[in-house]
Amino acid sequence: MAGSSGIRCLLMRGGTSKGAYFLASDLPADPGERDDLLLRIMGTPDPRQIDGLGGAHPLTSKVAVVSPSADDAADVDYLFLQLGVDEAFVTDRQNCGNILAGVGPFAVERGLVRAGDERTDVRIRMVNSDSIATASFATPGGIVDYDGDLPIDGVPGTAGAIPLDFEGTAGSSTGALFPTGNTRDRIAGVEVTCVDNGMPSVLIRAADLGVVGDEAPAALEADAELAARLAEIRLAAAEAMGMGDVSGATVPKLVLLSPPTSGGVVSTRSFLPVRAHTSIGVLGALTVGAGALAPGSVADGVAVLPEPGTPFRIEHPTGYFDVDVALTETDHGWDVARSSALRTARKIFDGTVFPRPRR
């Protein structure tokens, strides 16, 4: 149990992110106590997170809390928690498809799911959005094998493929794929597409904000004028998406779109929402994919659409993200017919973590 005696923890790279994975039963049941403990484990608040596990970036200040599921449709429940780096917050208001990639292997490592002889499918209820994802990974002889030959951009080398299939991602945080009821709106003086295929996001043409869209994440982060404009658009767009006042929240995300330069459908620069993403999130990419496919969105004239029904690539600062997204038109507008992506994960460390003492 929690305390200065240490807590059982598995550190894992999930996709292009890194996080601490815990069994819910190893953490305090009270959310306030749990969050206080996690902040002390990660070394938050501190820009360097020098006294904890965090890696000084939102993409490496993440936590997965995993437990057996009471839902017949799932094997395990996965609660994702995003921690601040220099600010002391813990939020369950967003999901994370990168950290999701490690949840199935973690469930096997901890004995929550019995592995098959070759591969294992784990049905995961994503508690944050109350939707289901199925992850499949290699378990030769009943042991998780993280190795393999799949490269993913943003991670050096290769690892074993973990296909992720999502159900019910459309509107998972806002209630609708296009939460304003439109595929394009004019908000705070700029055209945007507000879309939520698992990650509520505001898509904006980079050119409309005076940038090219091929800048390095650090250069975009350093642009104070751009940051102020993005913050203004985000607050106004979130109101229009029914999300209320999102000051201090990590959603909705912002994504700048520009024409593809190397064979993808569209080029992206995403914001988390203040720090710039070094690649793109999983649900983030599936959300951009859904937005780009919708007729009339701000991607019109920017994106080069794929053959209908075929998987496609979203370009990001460190390469590509391959997604398989298809939309279907219903009586009440656009819905998502298919959402899946390929990731990898790697167990880095399994042991006992010692939280910084309370001050």
CB 266 within 8 Å of CB 288: yes
Residue whose C-beta lies closest to ligand NQM? 281
Which CB, 58 or 264, lies closer to ligand NQM?
58
**Interface with ligand NQM (CB under 6 A):** 16-17, 58-59, 96-98, 199, 250, 253, 272, 281-284
Per DSSP, helices labelled H in 48-160 are: 97-100, 103-109
In the complex, what is the shortest distance from the CB of residue 276 to ligand NQM, in angstroms, rounded to a whole number? 11
For ligand NQM, which is the closer residue by CB, 58 or 291?
A: 58
Nearest to 118 by CA among 139, 100, 137, 132: 139
How near is the Cβ of 126 to ligand NQM at its closest, in Å? Answer: 10
| d(C-alpha 62, C-alpha 59), whole Å | 7
Shortest Å distance, C-beta 273 to ligand NQM:
8
Q: Are 190 and 208 in contact (CB under 8 A)?
A: yes
Shortest reach from residue 279's CB to ligand NQM, in Å: 7
**338/295 Cα distance (integer angstroms):** 17
Residue closer to ligand NQM (CB basis): 61 or 139: 61
**Six-digit token pair at 307?**
């053959």
Q: Which residues make Cβ contacts (< 8 Å) with residue 51, sequence separation at least 6?
A: 43, 356
Nearer to ligand NQM by C-beta: 44 or 98? Answer: 98
If DSSP codes are grouped into helix, strand and coil, which group holds residue 235? Answer: helix
| Nearest approach, Cβ of residue 147 and ligand NQM (Å) | 22
Nearer to ligand NQM by C-beta: 16 or 183?
16
In angstroms, what is the minimal distance from the CB of 14 to ligand NQM? 7
Helix (H/G/I), strand (E/B), else coil: 285: helix
Q: For residues 98 and 144, give the distance between their C-alpha atoms in angstroms, rounded to a whole number.
A: 18
Task: Give the HSE-up count for residue 298: Cα atoms under 13 Å, Cβ half-sphere.
Answer: 27
Tokens 């350093």 locate to 222
Q: Which is nearer to ligand NQM, 247 or 330 (CB)?
A: 247
Q: How far is the CB of 190 from ligand NQM (least distance, A)?
A: 21
Query: Rounded to an integer, what distance in angstroms lies between the CA atom of residue 180 and that of residue 222?
Result: 31
Is the Cβ of residue 233 or residue 282 nearer to ligand NQM in the bound state?
A: 282
Residue 221 and residue 182: Cα distance in Å, rounded?
Answer: 29
Q: Which is nearer to ligand NQM, 139 or 291 (CB)?
A: 291
Instruction: Name the minimum Å distance from CB 113 to ligand NQM.
Output: 22
Retrieve residue 313's tokens: 């690539």
Going from the C-alpha of 252 to that of each of 124, 183, 217, 276, the distances in angstroms are 23, 16, 18, 14
- What is the helix, strand, coil percentage profile of the chain, to 5? 20, 35, 45
